[in-house]
Each structure stands twice: as C-alpha cells, then as structure tokens.
Structure 1
Amino acid sequence: MHEAEQLTRFQSVIDSLTNPETGCPWDREQTPVSLCEYLIEECYELVAAIRAGKPGHACDEMGDLLFVLLLMARIFERSGSFSLGDALKMGADKMIRRHPHVFKEETCSTMSELMRNWAALKKEEQSASGEAIGILSSVPSSLPPLTKAYRLHAKAASAGFTWDDDEDVERQVEAEWLELLDARASGSAAAKEHELGDLIFTLVELGRRMGIKAASAADFAADRFRKRVESMESLARRQGKDFSSLSLDEKDELWNEVKSTEPAGAPQNPAVEFALPLQPSGDGAQ
C-alpha cells in the first residue's frame, strides 16, 4: 500500500476512534492542549529508539508520534482552525522558500554562506509576519534546559556575539569553575545555583564549538551510567552479594570490572549509522 493510501487509512482510523457515538471515550475527549504531554512523551520515546540504534523500534515509535499529530490535526480541522493539508502546504512552502539554492537558481559556495542565507530568510519571514526579530526571539523558552542553552549560544554566535576562539571559552570555563568553588565556600545556596548554572551554560558553548550537543552528551552519559550500575548489580548478585550493602571500595571494584568488559573505542552513540544531518541553521530550528 502506498504512503498516501496509508495516510488515508490512518485518518480513517482516527475518525472511527473519535466518532461521537461509536468511538473511544478517551480519544473523543482529547484536545490539542491535552495531547501536548503525549506529544512530548512520544517524541522522547522516538528519540530513545533512534539513539539506541533500533530502526524497527524507531518505526513503531514514529507511528505512535504520527498518531498524536494526526489526531491533533483532525481536532484543529473540526474546530475550523486549520487542516492537515494546510499544515503540510505551509511546511512544504517554508522549506522551498528557505532553500533557494535547491529550488531556484541561487547558489551557495560554502556552508557558512548557506547558514547566513538561512538566517536572513527566517528574519525576513518574522519581520513580514510582525513577529519579534531579536536574535534570540526564535528560541522557545519551553525547550529543555541544555537544548535551550545550545540554541541561545548558536543564535548569539550567528550574530557575532561570542568568544573569539576556543581557548577563550576554555578560560571562561576555568573561571566559572573557580567562581563555583567560591560560591560553595560562601555557603549561599542561591550563589551556588547561580554559579553552577553559569558553568554549565559555558560548557554547553565549549561543546558546541567541538561539534557536540550537551543535551545528547549528557543523555548518553546518563545511559552509560545506568547500564554500568545495572551490570554492577547483576555482577554482585552472581557473586552472592547485596549491592546496596557493599562498601564504596567494593562498589568501585565492581565499577572497574564492568568498565573493563566494555569494548575499547566503542562509539558513544549507536545511532550514528543512520543519523540525519542537521538543518543548515546550525541549531536545528525551523
């Protein structure tokens, strides 16, 4: 069955689920606002499947995400706001408009030029629509903290507001670390939180300059920690020991043993084999 037919079938399923008389009570009661939490949840589940390097699982999770999006679109359509077709047209028109080097005769000789043109086109669109056009106005305040920090740094850098070179950023990281130590010595909870935030924010920029997104790096680090602790617990059980009752030195021994069994030079992100490239804006924003 072709994609268009599958889309029609999916919409028919949604219509049946939301039928006022014969549909599912849960689906009938949903609104765009109530679906937001499920939209975010499904996005995270899809991201987890992709990062785990499991295309089959990613396909399943993508279907779940599409269900929420299509249900939301149908609700908007029934309220007279807009249809799925309107959203598809708007999205396609936007991509065509922002890629004149593909759909028109314009050319870009470098990636930097491409990114500048992309940013200029977005600024023109915002100006025409009456939106605020500050350099940071397109970064949503509701983004996850590390992603928001990355986007803010990327936007500021695109306007020339950043450190001159990587060494300057490294020195700033060192300075923020010393300020955090001073704050800890002061005993002020507010000062400690403030300085820790500054340190993390600066580390995000250092990572950005290295081609690393702090949110992904932290996510992979958390996953590695989880897997190692689970392996430590399993190893302790095989040795007839209760993990929680072990001393810190004994736990350290288990930690080192688990680490020693990990493949040397293994990629941190198993999903890199089928990862998609970023949009030319450099911050992933549309």
Structure 2
Amino acid sequence: MTDTGYPSTYTGVEQILERLLGPEGCPWDKEQTREALAGMFLEECYEFIEAVEEGDTDKMVEELGDVLFHVMFQLKLGEDNGEFTREDVLGTLVEKLLRRHPHVFGDKQVSGADEAIASWDAVKRQEKAASGGSILEGVPKNMPALAYAQAVQARAERAGFDWDSFQGVLDKVTEELSEIEAASTDDERESELGDLLFSVVNAARWLNIDAEASLRGTNRRFYRRYAIMERLSREQGVSFDTLSMDEKEALWQEANVSS
C-alpha cells in the first residue's frame, strides 16, 4: 500500500477529515450539511450492496471505505455543531446491543437463531409498548418500497400476524390480479397494483427471498440481455428501433442464450 503520510487506520481518516474541513481545506467539503450528504450516503450504501452481490472484493473494500467516510463525516458534523459526540452515538449503540442480546449478556437461554431473533423482537416490542409506539415505527419510511414492504411484513409476522400457509399467500396474489382487471379508474388501478406488489413481496418473504435483491437481479439480467440485443442488431447492420416485434423477440431469445 502506498505511503500517504497518513496511517491506514480510523485515526488516519480522522486526520484527513480534519484537514479537509480545516481553514486550508476543501471548499466543497466545508459547505456540506447533514441533509446535503444524506443522498450521497445512501448512494454509497447501494454501491456497497452492488459490490457484495457481484462478489467483487476489491470493490467492496473501496465502497465500504466510502460508507465509513460518510459515517465519520456525520459524526464530525454532529460534534462540530455541538449536537452530539461520538461517545453519545457509540454509547447508545452499546446499550442497545446489550439490551437486545439478553441471551448473550444476560441469563436468557435460546436454542438457536430463530429464538435469538424472537428474543430481539420481544425486547423491541417491550420498548415500543413503553413508549406507546408501534413495532413498525422503526422501519424507515423512505426505504425503497419493496424493501419497506418486506420489512414491515416481517415485523408483523414475528408478532403473529400472518397467513396460515403459503397457498393463502398465492391465493391473495391471484385475487389482487383479478382486482386490477376489474378496476375501472386510474386511481383504482394504482391502488390495486400496489396491493398486488405488496402481496408478491409477501410471497418472497415466505420463500425467504429478498424481494429487493431479487428485482435488482432481474434488472441486471434485463440490462445485460437488452445490451446484447442492441449489439446483435448492430452486427447485422440494422437499426434496432426499425425491427419488428417478432424480430426483436428473436434477438431476445438469442441474447438469452448468449447471457
């Protein structure tokens, strides 16, 4: 690794951050606010997730570093603005981890992962009950819609609100499809489509499939196959836009084999 003059440690990044935000630092960095950085932070998280799904270790290293930098930047802003300290953040985390793992740091006994997550949820329900809140409150409402749906469904299921069987879930998907067909207005169709998506996410949960990751995988496959179709049409000396639907379908099948 190149000798940069800064140690390859948490302290080294802190020193760089101090320099960036100092009197002779970067004008752009010094203008940033928590709100301005939030969108970029989320983007870095997605880039890390993409690296994980691709199994690209080098990319994981880079993107995880970007995520960590944003965390440290937010800590720095909180401290500089007198809002909180890193001890506040880390102390709150320590207390939460201890409180929600009584089977590790207390006397509670669990037989495996399922009982461990049930114990975690029981503690969270107790916390919410004490504050008068809903168990669903902890799920961020600005999450991607599929991920949010799966998260709230999982919490409801762990509280005992769920279908008796997977067939009931599939029947609900079929029901929602028929309701889209029966809808007579744009507002009704939008509402019924939302219900259908929610039901499909529920099916993914029953199959232990991450709906968001599943759709990202399909998006990647579509992108790859569509790009192959465009390349094949160029190789044939024709414009993809001018092909008939039957010709495009033939290219799609060829691209499906090639990918």
TM-score by length of 2: 0.92
Task: Give the fraction of aligned pairs with identical amino acids, expressed as a percent.
Answer: 37
Which stretch of structure 1 is more off in the superposition, 53-62 or 80-89? 80-89
Equivalent residue number for residue 217 of structure 1: 214
* Structure 1 counterpart of 2:231, from 222, 226, 234: 234
Aligned ranges 1:43-192 → 2 under 5 Å: 43-127=45-129, 130=131, 132-183=132-183, 186=184, 188-192=185-189
Q: How many residues align?
A: 254
The match for 2:196 is 199
Secondary structure of the corresponding residue to residue 82 of structure 1 = coil
Tell me, which stretches of 5 or more residues in structure 1 are unaligned? 263-286
Output the amino acid matched with 2:48: L
Which residue among 8, 11, 30 is the counterpart of 2:11?
8
Task: Give 3-state SS (helix, strand or coil) of 2:9's partner.
Answer: helix
Equivalence for 1:27: 29
CA contact (8 A) 1:70 1:84 kept: no
Give distance in 2, aligned partners of 1:99 and 1:18: 38
Partners of 1:14 and 1:71 within 8 A in 2: yes
Q: Which amino acid aligns with 1:75?
A: L
The alpha carbon displacement at 1:74 in A equals 0.4
Cα deviation 1:236-274 (Å, max 9, x = unaligned): 212222212211111111111111234xxxxxxxxxxxx
Shift of 1:105: 4.1
Unaligned runs of 5+ in 2: 2-6
Between 1:106-115 and 1:251-260, the stretch displaced more is 106-115
Letter in 2 for 1:241: V
Q: With structure 1 as the length reference, what TM-score do the two structures score?
A: 0.83
Q: Which has the higher contact order (CA 8 A, sep 6+)?
A: 1
Partner of 2:108, secondary structure, is coil
Aligned partner of residue 61 in structure 2, secondary structure: helix
- Looking at structure 1, the residues matched to 69 and 75 of structure 2 have their Cα atoms a distance apart, in angstroms, of 10
Q: What is the SS of the residue equivalent to 2:40? A: helix
Separation (CA, whole Å) in 2 of partners of 1:81 and 1:63: 25
SS across alignment from 1:109:
coil
What whole-Å deviation, never above 9, does each CA across 1:136-190 have from its counterpart, x for those lacking one?
A: 222222211111110111111112112111111111111111111111xx2x100
Three-state SS of the structure 2 residue aligned to 1:164 is coil
Relative to structure 1, is the Cα distance of residues 76 and 208 closer, same or farther in structure 2, using a 3 angstrom cutoff?
Answer: same
Higher alpha-carbon deviation: 231-240 or 86-95: 86-95
Kindly indicate whether the alpha-carbon contact (under 8 Å) linking 1:139 and 1:148 is maintained by their aligned counterparts in 2: yes
